[in-house]
Amino acid sequence: MRFTSEQHADNGVLERAFTLGEIPGILWTPTSAASAAAPVPLILLGHPGGLHRMYPRLVARARRCAADGFATATIELPGSGDRPRSDAAEQARADLHRALAAGEPVDEEIVDRLVLPLVDKAVPEWRTALDALLSLPGIGGPVGYSGGVIAIGIRLAVVEPRISAAGLFAGSFVPRTMFEEARRITIPLHVLLQWDDEGNDRQAALDLFDAFGSQEKTLHANMGGHTGVPPFAGDAVAGFFTRHLR
Amino acid sequence: MRFTSEQHADNGVLERAFTLGEIPGILWTPTSAASAAAPVPLILLGHPGGLHRMYPRLVARARRCAADGFATATIELPGSGDRPRSDAAEQARADLHRALAAGEPVDEEIVDRLVLPLVDKAVPEWRTALDALLSLPGIGGPVGYSGGVIAIGIRLAVVEPRISAAGLFAGSFVPRTMFEEARRITIPLHVLLQWDDEGNDRQAALDLFDAFGSQEKTLHANMGGHTGVPPFAGDAVAGFFTRHLR
């Protein structure tokens, strides 16, 4: 992990860009953490890919988390942003968009082609990032994972024992084979569902919530469309992480 | 409205039993309200019937609301507690319990016989109680309705303009004809659903949530069974009312 830039954003947050091998990432720490006696908990910020495009929303989430006393970090997804594209993934994405544009049901085979290789590639990268982040002074556990491609969150919650709570956004496609992984999750889950999200299959999201094996799992369904998560829903996510990571 | 007893409970709450004609009820006010400059908002506490049986849970909710600066009040439901039974309602209740005990699907006709007359009778009583409560010194609007038989909450939310936010518990049967009323609700709604509530039809609860006409509606689904609403879900209800009534 190599830091490439550092800036003090407003609101008491130190923002540092880094690269992890070829993978760009960003780390935000509360400036109060530098003088804190104990290392601060870390929340990994998931996103749909494209750090530049997602930056304004990521930094808003990072600031909120810093105010609650958490460090946050994110890395670019395989095939997004400036990272090399995969022909197979690009083909799957094009097939998905064609089906959505035509108003057709999305074939499970397209979802598998799009999401499974992404999960297989991204999850080890997030785990490597976690190794590097937790070795930094001032950053400790417990670790949370928040938002982003829900299939990545599911796999991470199953395979990464250092993650002790996850806030998931039921807003993207999940291969049916991953429902079996969902049943093996035991950590507390907080799931956001935008009830009127036209690009999302509500019934599939409810089936997935039902499948999660966690004893503590909460679904918060709200209005406002895919990107219109209301502020009070963000407050509830913050409350969830404060309950479980502090 | 005639007060029949008065006691200072602990935690800064004044509890007063009252009768409204033949109907018993309880009013809780934060003791701080006596010296407050402005009247405090009021939350009507719904319940499934039987004030004595429900008292421990009602007083816990009342204390929490008082801590948040709200007065709360409740009245006995028709045919519950010491109020006279109706033969038709008792028959419908027996038919419901027979169907549930046999593990049979509950006939809509039974639900109609049980719930519709209850709603028709209870809602005017709650409105009369509201008239009396809002005429008391120190108690003002806005008014919320929280929990209890969801069909009563639906009707109240439609017909009673003084109620400006409702927290509903999706834990009891709703006649299909009331879905049309649900579509006419416009006030903010916060709906609790116990995901693993064996005595409740989860799909019907989700259909009902979908039907609500409110622009702001939130569904919080949790584990823990019918009576096992987790403490953090209660906190979320409190946050909802604080957002809308203060």
Quote the pLDDT of residue B198: 81
Give residue A31's pLDDT: 87
Torsion sign, CA atoms A177, A180, A185, A188: positive
A144 vs A104 pLDDT, higher one: A144
Omega before residue B142 within 30° of 0, cis: yes
Torsion of CA A16, A17, A18, A24, to 10 degrees: 150
* B-chain residues near A233 (CB < 8 A): 218
Complex-level ipTM: 0.90
Portion 37-56 of B in contact with A at CB < 8 A? none
At residue A207, the pLDDT reads 95
Q: What is the pLDDT of residues A176-200, one digit of tens each?
A: 999 999 999 999 999 999 999 987 8
- pLDDT tens digits along A21-39: 999 999 999 987 766 778 9
B195:A206 CB<8 A: no
Domain boundaries, chain A: 2-83+122-245
Q: Largest Cα–Cα distance of chain A, in whole Å?
A: 56
3-state SS string over A8-77?
EECCCEEEEEEEECCEEEEEEEEHHHHHCCCCEEEEEEECCCCHHHHHHHHHHHHHHHHHCCCEEEEECC
CB-count burial class (<10 Å; 0-12, 13-18, 19+) for B225: middle
Q: Are strands A23-30 and A13-20 parallel, antiparallel or unpaired?
A: antiparallel
pLDDT at B67: 92
Scored b (16 or more CB within 10 A) or e, B96-117 reads beeeeeeeeebeeebbbbbbbb
Q: Is B204 on the interface with A (CB under 8 A)?
A: no
Best to test chain B binding among A194, A195, A214 (most B CBs inside 10 Å): A195
Query: What is the pLDDT tens value at each position of chain B, 246 positions in all?
Result: 999 998 876 678 999 999 999 999 999 999 877 667 789 999 999 999 999 999 999 999 999 999 999 999 999 999 999 999 999 999 999 999 999 889 888 899 999 999 999 999 999 999 999 999 999 999 998 999 998 899 999 999 999 999 999 999 997 789 999 999 999 999 999 999 999 998 788 999 999 999 999 999 999 999 999 889 999 999 999 999 999 998
Q: How confident is the model at residue A9 (pLDDT cuts 50, 70, 90)?
A: low
* Closest CB to B243 among A216, A217, A232: A232
Non-local (6+) Cβ contacts of A98 within 8 A are: none
Q: Is domain A2-83+122-245 classified as CATH 3.90.550.10?
A: no
Q: State how far the Cα of A24 lies from the Cα of A1, in Å rounded to an integer.
A: 10
CATH number (3.40.50.1820, 3.90.580.10, 1.10.10.10, 3.80.10.10) of B2-84+116-245 reads: 3.40.50.1820
pLDDT digits (tens, 9 = 90+) for A46-66: 999 999 999 999 999 999 999
Residues recorded for chain B: 246
Percent over 90 (pLDDT), chain A: 86
Give the model's confidence band at A69: pLDDT under 50 very low, under 70 low, under 90 confident, else very high. Answer: very high
Q: B239 to chain A: which residues are within 8 Å by CB?
A: 232, 235-236
Pairing of strands B23-30, B189-194: unpaired
- State the number of CA atoms in the 13 A half-sphere of A24 facing the CB: 16
pLDDT tens readout for residues A111-161: 999 999 999 999 999 999 999 999 999 999 899 999 889 999 999 999 999
Q: How far is the C-alpha of B119 from the C-alpha of A165, rounded, in Å?
A: 42
Best residue in B220, B229, B241, B244 to probe A by mutation, most A CBs within 10 Å? B220
pLDDT at B10: 67
pLDDT at B4: 95
CA distances, A61 to each of A22, A65, A72, B131 (Å): 25, 6, 9, 45
